Amino acid sequence: MASTNGFLESTSPSNTRWKILIALLCVLVLGLYTFLPQNTAKTDPQSPQFFSQAMQKFKTAFYCEATGVAIETDNSIPTCTEPVTKVVFIKTHKTASTTLASIIERYGYTRNLSFALGNTDHVLADQDIFTRSIVEKSPPPLRGDKRVYDMLTNHARYNRPEMDAVVPNARYITILREPSKQLESAFSYFRMAHSLKIDNHPNALQLFMKNPRKYMAEKFFFWWQGRNGQIFDLGLDHVHHDDVYTVDYKIRQLEHEMDLVLITEHIDESLILLRNVFCWDMDDILYISNNIRSKKLRYKVSDTLRNKMLDWNADDVKLYQHFNRTLWRKVAEYGPRFQQDLQEFRNRQREVMSQCVELDKKAIVQNDLEERYVLKENTSSLCENLWRGDKTFTTLLREKQTRGRVLSVPST
C-alpha cells in the first residue's frame, strides 16, 4: 500500500483523487465549525472533566471517519525561546484592561523598556483610529535615536500597520469581556445616563435599551461605547456593525493577527497562557486589581434586559464567543500541566494579596467612580509595583523617558 508523506494512503490513483476531494471537504467542515456561533455554555466549561475531554478532542491531527483520511492541523500556541519584550496591548474599555495594562507596564518599567506614550494622560486614541503621529511627541525611547519603542499599552484603537511602525516585531494581545457585562459597566462608569439626561429614571440602562438607536443618535459622552464597544476598540467602525460579512471578516483578521486574546471571566487561565506565550516568570503575571467600579455605579440587569443587551451587541457577542472558544482550545493544547500551573499561580496570588494589601479595606477614589485596595504600611517594592495602576505607571514611564536615564528599579 503506497503512502504520501504519511497523510493519505490509497491503492490506486483514482482512489487517491477521491480521498483528496473528501479530505478537502473535511477541512471545509472544520473551518465552518470554527466560525459558526456555538452555545457559550458548552464552550465556557468550569469542571475538571472538561480538560480531560478537551485533551482528547484537540490533537495535532483530526480524522475524517467517512474516508479513513487523517489530516494534520496546527493548533499550536505561539511559543518563544526567550522572554518577550516587544508587546502591543489593545486596551479595550471596561474589561479589566487596566489591571492587565499594569501587569505589562510593571514588567517594562522594572526592566527599563521604552513605551509609546501620549502627551499627558494614559489615553492615546479613544474614538479615532491609532496613527503613528499620535505618539510623535512621546518622550523618546531610553535607547537608540529612532522613534521606535518596546511597548504600547495605553488606550488606542487597533490599527496594525501604524502600530507596527511604532513597536516593530511585537506580540499583540487584547482582552474581551462578556458583552452584556461590559455594556453595563461602560454605561455606568462613563455616566451615559447623565449625558442623556435620563439619570433620574430608576433604571436608566433599562430605559436606554428600550430604544437604543434613538439615544445613540445623540452622540453623547463616550457614545461609541454604547454598542459593540469591544470590536470598535479593535478597529471596526460603527458604520459596519450591521454588516455580517464585514464583522466575520474582522474576526478572522483578529484571529490571524492576535497572538493571544484574554477573557476577563477567566483572567487567571488567560494569564497562564500569557506567561507561556511570553516566556515570563510566575511573579511577572501577579496582579492587584485596579479600577474596581464602585458599588454605587451598578445597574440591576434582569434576564430580559440582558438578552436585549446581547441582541444589541451582537457583534461583540460573536467576537467574544469566538475567542472564548479559542481560549479553551489553547488551554487544551497547553497539556496536562495547565491545572498544576494554574493552582501554583493562584496560591502565589493569595500570598501576595495577603502580604501587600488590607483585604478587608478599600478606598474610594476617582470621584466615587472606583474602589482600590489599601496598601499595607512599610511593604515591599514588589507590593508597591503590584498596587500601581495604569495611570501611575504611565506617569512614571513618562518621567523616566523624559529624563532619558536608564534607572536601576527594584522589582522585589
User: H or E stretch including 129?
Assistant: strand 123-129
* Residue scoring higher pLDDT (11 or 333): 333
pTM of the model: 0.79
C-alpha span between 68 and 90 (Å, rounded): 43
- Reading the block at residue 113, the C-alpha cell is 523598556
C-alpha span between 157 and 221 (Å, rounded): 17
Phi then psi for residue 389, to 5 deg, are: -100, 180
Is 292 within 8 Å of 362 (Cβ atoms)? yes
Q: How distant, in Å, are the alpha carbons of 210, 319, 379 from that of 177?
A: 23, 10, 33
Least confident range from 76-80, 138-142, 337-341: namely 76-80
In order, the DSSP letters of 192-244 are HHHHTT-TTSTTHHHHHHHSHHHHHTT--TTGGGSSSHHHHHTT--GGGTT-H
Q: How distant, in Å, are the alpha carbons of 113, 133, 169, 322 from that of 150?
A: 6, 17, 9, 29
- Reading the block at residue 73, the C-alpha cell is 492541523
Burial class (CB in 10 A: 0-12, 13-18, 19+), 239: exposed
For residue 407, pLDDT over 50 is answered with yes
* pLDDT tens per residue, range 147-204: 899 999 999 999 999 999 999 999 999 999 999 999 999 999 999 999 999 999 999 9
HEC states along 234-299?
CCCCHHHCCCHHHHHHHHHHHHHHCCEEEEHHHHHHHHHHHHHHHCCCHHHHCCCCCCEECHHHCC
* pLDDT tens per residue, range 34-58: 444 444 443 343 333 333 333 333 3
For 249-255, the CB contacts below 8 A with 24+ separation are 251/35, 251/318, 251/319, 251/322, 252/35, 254/319, 254/323, 255/322, 255/323, 255/326
